[in-house]
Structure 1
Amino acid sequence: MPVLKRVLLAIFAAIVTTAPAGAAQITDVTGRKVEIDLPAKRILLGEARQIHVAAALKGEHVFDTIVGWRDDLIKKDPDSYAGYLERFADIEKLPRFGYVPSGDFSLEAAITLKPDVLTLNLEAQEAAEESGFIEKAAAAGIAVVFLDFRVDPAKNSELSIAILGRLFGAEGQAKEFIGWRRLQIAVVTDRLAKASALPRPRVFIERAPGISGDVACCRTFGPANFGEMVELAGGHNIGSDVISTTFGDLNPEQIVVANPDHVIVTGSNWAAESDVNQFVAVGRGAGPAAARERLKGLMQRPAFENLDAVKAGRVHAVWHQFYGAPYEFVPIQQFAKWFHPDLFADIDPDKTFREFHEKFLPIAYRPGYFASLANGGE
């Protein structure tokens, strides 16, 4: 049996065991064992951005069993929401919910929808446990299952895909998704392994600059999430030298001293949330000229204007929402092209993501997920 197939079978065996009365027992990313009839007939997405996975599993039938979702997709990723709305006009009527840790999720409203299961992000675990939310939901017949595509993607992304595959009755598609994703990452990692003496450029990746006037600089990533993507792509994430958690902050002086070879900022269409509107709006269908102008503006901040990366034009933007969906293979391929253009001259991340849409997703592909400055910032 091929190694990849054995690994995928092990992942699915780890999350589900048969329980009495035809139910199944799922083990979520926290290690909790949750008993539920599978596939679930009525699903409430505690984060709407989980649609990026669910749609890859169920295609045109993805909304057949979704009875409601959090309001984050329309607020934080409206371009993707527009793509799904274009294909599925009725989702405008789907009930929307707030965020459990913020205290604005209405369990009473959720109960009226009679969901079998509520999927929550790992970040919501502490608030859900301390408030008794899980027990209250269970008393109403709602199973709570935690997923994670953000805090520790290396550990939890494949497991979370597998869990959603079980919930949606799409185990075969989940295995195919996981396998395809691994192969696309290996396009980069296998080649880097064969070029082991290759120098790794120092990279600073800034989290969501220009979204809030309260934070001028410099939110970043530690060794997980985008920080890990940088490493897998053959770079060295300078945030990992200081930060051991998934997210953290560097001060401007640390950026100046590190003088990175590349600067990458994450961006999205945050018009509904931003108080300053200086973010780089990359994402589905984004305009490259407008993105480059925003990127140039961010590099005029005192911590950045004299960096070697900025002077050389090695400044880039990446779609922020890659940080919460298991589509890491796309930025990993793009980062590799930025860091090692000769070694990866033949790979095309845009083509890869287009092929992913055509193979797995029910919505059409629109480019716009990256932007870069040329030499001198022009």
Structure 2
Amino acid sequence: MKKKICFLMIFVLLMSLLPAFGLANPVKAQETQVYLNGVKINMGDALPCIVNGRTMVPVRLFSENLGATVKWDNTTQTVTIQSEDVSVKLIIGKKEAVVNGKNKTLDAAPMVISGRTMVPLRFIAEAFGAVVKWDKEASKAVVVWNVKIKDSTGNDVTVPAGLNRLVVLNTDAAESLRILQIPDEFIVGVSDTVKTDPYLGFENKESVGSWQKPNFEKILSVKPQAVITYGKWPDTTLEDNLKPAGIKVIRLDLYKPETYDNDLKTLAKIFGRVKTAEEFIQWKANKTAVVVDRVKDLKPENKVKVFGIWSSSLTATTWKTFAQNTAVHQGLESAGGINVARDMKDYPEISPEWVLEKNPDKIVIGTYDKDVIGYSVKDNTNVSKLRDSALVNPVISQTNAGKNKEVYIISTKLFGGNKTYLGSLYLAKWLYPDRFKDVNPSQILKEYFEKWLGIPMKGVWAYPEP
């Protein structure tokens, strides 16, 4: 009998120590859902749950969706959550925590369930300045958070909590919202270019005019909480007309290769989709790392001289090209080429004589003509005609590129913009076919459409296909 009592005492003691050692807690958990500013938080296989009346969430995924980082100290069983202005330290099995250097008491101790560290939703949300409401009918927790961001102009912006009525003027922002899986019903109005883009799927949304000169009356009529637009366009008359109505203007470019990743994470932060943004950015980095790796050892004398123009230049008397500070320049040089306009800046006008003097080895022509190239084009008929006309152009035909038929056509969607990294795959294979024999740019573009935009890949994007 004494042995049985002793065994039971030891068993009870060990069970009481389980939380302290981070083992799976012997608790009965009821699954639930958590929404952040109207968007369901994607938890993967780590589901939020209710334990003893308290909603518990996976600490890493929830915090990272708020734009914070999480560190785990296995020795002390301590979780540290750090953002720009919030620091939280929690210990498994303890109801004491430290928030921004101050001691706080939790209603429920952090615990480990099925190998996941779970923390009380209300505590962690309120530490970040959010408010938690319980929707009894839907059996879900709704987190409402005023999000502080820095936009593309460098200004600090506080985005209103529960943002679920948006007007989108920026086509690149509209595509990024697709990547982040923001619900369609959140978009109540779009610019003409967003509405008519053949693959974004916003053709049924209310048009509010052009992205450069929107119709303010139409914007006001759809009653948005915020308008997403470019950093520079339209000018501040947008704020002047919308601010009196309480409509927030969010300026995010999302088209510049050098700032795209940061812009995407900023947009994601508004909707609690930082984790999704980081997954996409990692995918992008993985897919394009091959270009960096295979051109890094090219010596300057072995690099290909390349010239980039828009198709409209073929019929113009004065041509414009792309120099430093442009996405096209970045795309050409990231693919290992020497942009013949690299010593100039922005979009300089150049003469036919200048082109002949530079004598590029290869020429890449970008076009935005939807009858020639892009998602809705069914065959190569028009794009091949455009290339043929370029080959007989009186200037191009006298260059090495023209003589050797090293002239290529690419969609402007891939040649200077939010998908320049995808265009660089096509460029690299055109410039150095031997180095990229095993790379299939179209297959990677197909993966982008299907995996991240959730639509089938269609159309003609580059010609001739590398």
Q: Does the TM-score normalized on the shorter chain lie above 0.5?
A: yes
**Superposition pairs of residues 1-378 of structure 1, within 5 angstroms:** 22-38=145-161, 40-58=163-181, 62-73=183-194, 81-85=197-201, 91-99=202-210, 101=212, 104-124=213-233, 128-129=235-236, 131=237, 133-150=238-255, 152-154=256-258, 156-195=259-298, 199-209=302-312, 215-223=316-324, 224-242=326-344, 244-245=345-346, 247-270=347-370, 281-286=372-377, 287-323=379-415, 325-372=417-464
Structure 1 counterpart SS, 2:341:
helix
Q: Deviations over 1:110-154 (max 9, x none)?
A: 122221221111231xx522x3x314322212111112234x431
Alignment RMSD: 3.0
- Work out whether residues 231 and 237 of structure 1, in 8 Å CA contact, stay in contact via their aligned partners in 2: yes
Distance 1:107 1:323, change over 3 A: farther
Letter in 1 for 2:156: K
Structure 2 counterpart SS, 1:313:
coil
Q: Deviations over 1:248-295 (max 9, x none)?
A: 322211111101011111013346xxxxxxxxx221253223211111
Q: Deviations over 1:305-332 (max 9, x none)?
A: 2111011011001111225642222211
Q: Greater relative contact order (Cα 8 A, min sep 6): structure 1 or 2?
A: 1
Offset at residue 232 of structure 1 (A): 0.4
Give the Cα separation in 2 of the matches to 1:159 and 1:136: 28
- Work out whether residues 41 and 65 of structure 1, in 8 Å CA contact, stay in contact via their aligned partners in 2: yes
Letter in 2 for 1:353: L
Q: Deviations over 1:63-103 (max 9, x none)?
A: 121111110145xxx5xx33344xxxxx43311123364xx
- Work out whether residues 370 and 376 of structure 2, in 8 Å CA contact, stay in contact via their aligned partners in 1: no
Offset at residue 200 of structure 1 (A): 1.2
Structure 2 counterpart SS, 1:206:
strand
- Work out whether residues 117 and 143 of structure 1, in 8 Å CA contact, stay in contact via their aligned partners in 2: yes
Instruction: Name which of structure 1's ranges 296-305 and 19-28 shifts more when overlaid on structure 2.
Output: 19-28
Offset at residue 166 of structure 1 (A): 2.3
Offset at residue 300 of structure 1 (A): 2.5
Letter in 2 for 1:99: S
Distance 1:297 1:195, change over 3 A: closer
Structure 1 counterpart SS, 2:179:
helix
Identity of aligned residues (%): 21
Letter in 2 for 1:283: G
Distance 1:340 1:367, change over 3 A: same
Distance 1:140 1:335, change over 3 A: same
Give the Cα separation in 2 of the matches to 1:195 and 1:210: 31
Give the Cα separation in 1 of the matches to 2:406 and 2:290: 23
Letter in 2 for 1:239: A
For structure 2, which runs of at least 5 residues remain unmatched after alignment?
1-63, 70-81, 87-126, 132-144
- Work out whether residues 98 and 106 of structure 1, in 8 Å CA contact, stay in contact via their aligned partners in 2: yes
Distance 1:324 1:303, change over 3 A: closer
Structure 1 counterpart SS, 2:219:
helix
Structure 2 counterpart SS, 1:310:
helix
Instruction: Name which of structure 1's ranges 338-347 and 47-56 shifts more when overlaid on structure 2.
Output: 47-56
Structure 2 counterpart SS, 1:123:
coil
Aligned to 1:275: none
Give the Cα separation in 1 of the matches to 2:295 and 2:266: 31
Distance 1:369 1:316, change over 3 A: same
Structure 2 counterpart SS, 1:35:
strand
Letter in 2 for 1:65: F
Give the Cα separation in 1 of the matches to 2:222 and 2:158: 20
Structure 1 counterpart SS, 2:295:
helix
Give the Cα separation in 1 of the matches to 2:360 and 2:454: 39
Instruction: Name which of structure 1's ranges 180-189 and 293-302 shifts more when overlaid on structure 2.
Output: 293-302
Distance 1:203 1:226, change over 3 A: same
- Bigger radius of gyration among the two: 2
Give the Cα separation in 2 of the matches to 1:20 and 1:183: 34
| Higher helix fraction (1 or 2) | 1
Structure 2 counterpart SS, 1:122:
coil
For structure 1, which runs of at least 5 residues remain unmatched after alignment?
86-90, 272-280
Aligned to 1:276: none
Distance 1:323 1:262, change over 3 A: closer
- Work out whether residues 357 and 364 of structure 1, in 8 Å CA contact, stay in contact via their aligned partners in 2: yes
TM-score, scaled relative to structure 2: 0.65
